[in-house]
Structure 1
Amino acid sequence: MMRFGMLKQFGWVALSVTMLSGCSLLGGGTATTEPRQDPLIGQIIDAGTQQPLGYPQLLARAAKADVVYLGERHDNAEHHRIQLQILQDLIGRGLQPVLGFEFFDIGQSGYLSQYVSGQASLMSLGPGSKLTPEQRLRRQLDWEKRPDQEWNFYFRLIELAREHQLEIFGADLAPSIKLRLSRTDMEQLTAVERQQLQGEALEQGVYRDFMYRRFTDGHCGWGEEPLLTRLYRTWRERNYRMAASVVAMADDSHAGPVVMIVGAGHTEHNLGLVNQVAKLRPELNQLNIGLQQISIEPSPLSDYLFDADDPEQALGVRHDLLWFTQRQDYRDICAELNGA
């Protein structure tokens, strides 16, 4: 009962993080203060051949793609450093990548574009008149209460877009719609709310089962209906919305790939977001790069490439390329809850 009570208390926190980020914050071992060294750290693995790939080869493939996914763990500083490096090197090749973010919604795209354009506001009066352009953007994006480190992860990419005048956009659904979807049945939504959604019937099968496991693991084993169905519908609708955003920008882009900064969960097994883009524009060349932090306990390469609960490997490899990094932390929140 104590564990259930704590999970209920923790549940919606985990839920909001999972639904916003596309990845779990939960580890798989005991907490430690010492980072684990692993021979995979720093390696780039081609999942198709299961062989190492050099960075120049990764960059060459990214330069030829129409859409590049840089699937991240949102709180991993190394993942954001790698994203910045790839974008800078694509620009160095004479390309003009189009930069998209899961962490910003489509309604915030105007704020991002206005900041990147560098055009000063003609409205000099009001409470925001003494803010710097960065402070104003942070307020517009509703990021003032988030930690500075978290903001800087993404602001460095926005600044790169401003420096090189890259097109930029937010791709996701608005937070209010995500909240309503995760807590309300579809038929209870208003007509205006439903108008913003794809509204397709939820298919059955291995991907749904996979995502149900993901949601349950993200809540330390707590998964019940109708919660799971609502989470899955929210997940699907978010992928629909982001896919439509990616395709719109890819259709409008002539100088470089659309580079999506997105939680790696949205691109696992080339399903979710990647699959939806392929349905909308099958001719687009997509490259799915997963920035993969090592597991808490030593694991073989196969455990990273395939899902342990998928013995037939029906879901396929997790990403086209995996770039391995150190973990951001070694906490296991579920272990802490179980020991409470």
Structure 2
Amino acid sequence: MRIRRRRAMRWAAGSAVLLVGTRVRFPVPAAAQEVARAASPIREVGTGRSLEEAELFARLAGADCVPVGETHDNPEHHRIQARVVRELAARPPGVGAVAFEMLTVDRQPLVDRMLRGPGADLDAFAEAVGWEESGWPDFTIYEPIFAAALESGARVLAADLASGTTARIRREGFAALDPGFVRRTGLDQPLPPELEAGLSDALARAHCDRLPASALPGLLRVQRARDAMMADRIARFRGRGRVVLITGNGHARRDWGVPYYLRRMVPERTVVSLGLIERGDGRDGVAAREPFDIVWFTVAPVRGRGDPCDAIGGSAGG
């Protein structure tokens, strides 16, 4: 498959996306690419055992659904994700679809039209979907994943809520969503209390504890709906092969993230989640504390990142 590329490599003006899609802009420096090439130990969470890369890919190959997390502006994470797609595509039954949090479901017809055939132009695709205006980091760091998907013959799935839906959920709750979707994904049932408390705390911390308490229920509903939509897109895919999900670590986690809804919707399918975790990002490198099946620890880009909390207004509490 020939994939045309015209885009110059640009590492400027990326963005970090917090758990519910609040985007805090900061640059992604050219130096980050080289910094992130440091050794990235892989650990099995249940045992804490170190895995060789061959063991990792063999484990992922045994799954039907593979959510792969990321820190959105980390180029090394996207190189790893692209490699996951290629490695799994080489192992029967291959990869049937690669689902992206970064694409909203209302764009699926456009995605299908732009990425059809061997001459797919990824630059034209990025322009057509308005990537540059979307708030996501520069398309060049995601491009290797799209290229891997197309080269493997996988379908690219738009997986996030349709544009404008999150605002309606904040106002109307799950009544803003299709009732059939709410029922089949389990959004009509509350999370277990310990998971709801954990998610609420994570959302508050993701917003630097500067949100009024009254805002948290709406944000929690949005987060749940986004996780449920990604799970629904995976569960309803009927093609041959595995589905790989490209998403933030907050959605890939196995406790209250996308795997939670997949376990409810398609319990017969095997899900193995891979978290790509930056050491020093509030983590101590102890795999047993991570909410994934497997973690791959990487280094963070060390230059060019400001404090994301500087871009979040308001004050804590309320």
* TM-score tier after normalising by the smaller chain length: 0.7 to 0.9
Deviation at 1:301, TM superposition (A): 3.4
1:248 aligns with 2:224: no
Contact 1:67 1:258 survives alignment (8 Å): yes
Describe the SS at the equivalent of 1:78.
helix
1:280 aligns with 2:265: yes
| Identity fraction in percent | 22
Residue in 2 that maps onto 1:67: 65
Larger Rg: 1
The code of the aligned residue for 2:76 comes to E
Deviation at 1:267, TM superposition (A): 2.5
Q: Which structure ranks higher in relative contact order (CA pairs < 8 Å, sequence separation ≥ 6)?
A: 1
Describe the SS at the equivalent of 1:144.
helix
Residue in 2 that maps onto 1:263: 248
Distance 1:276 1:94, change over 3 A: closer
Deviation at 1:16, TM superposition (A): 7.1
Choose from 318, 324, 330 the match for 2:291: 318
Q: What CA distance in whole angstroms lies between the structure 2 residues aligned with 1:115 and 1:318?
A: 36
Residue in 2 that maps onto 1:90: 88
Q: Count residues with an aligned counterpart.
A: 286
1:143 aligns with 2:127: no
| Superposition map of 1:9-88 within 5 A | 17-20=18-21, 41-88=39-86
TM-score, normalisation: structure 2: 0.77
Q: What CA distance in whole angstroms lies between the structure 2 residues aligned with 1:220 and 1:84?
A: 31
Contact 2:82 2:145 survives alignment (8 Å): yes
Describe the SS at the equivalent of 2:133.
coil
1:152 aligns with 2:140: yes
TM-score, normalisation: structure 1: 0.73
Choose from 280, 288, 306 the match for 1:305: 288
Deviation at 1:332, TM superposition (A): 3.3
Distance 1:285 1:69, change over 3 A: same
The code of the aligned residue for 1:318 comes to P
CA shift digits 1:239-276 (9 cap, x unpaired): 11111111111xx132x311010111012243321010
Q: Say which structure is richer in helix.
A: 1
Distance 1:241 1:112, change over 3 A: same
Distance 1:145 1:19, change over 3 A: same
Residue in 1 that maps onto 2:223: 235
CA shift digits 1:217-256 (9 cap, x unpaired): 122212323310000011111111111111111xx132x3
CA shift digits 1:88-140 (9 cap, x unpaired): 222233543121111112222222222332288xxxxxxxxxxx943442233
Structure 2: 5+ residue stretches without partners: 1-14, 314-318
Moved over 4 A (4+): 14-17, 23-26, 146-149, 193-197, 335-338
Distance 1:293 1:170, change over 3 A: same
Q: What CA distance in whole angstroms lies between the structure 2 residues aligned with 1:142 and 1:96?
A: 30
Q: What CA distance in whole angstroms lies between the structure 2 residues aligned with 1:34 and 1:112?
A: 30
Q: What CA distance in whole angstroms lies between the structure 1 residues aligned with 2:269 and 2:291?
A: 19
Question: What RMSD, in angstroms, separates the aligned Cα atoms of the two structures?
Answer: 3.5
The code of the aligned residue for 1:138 comes to A
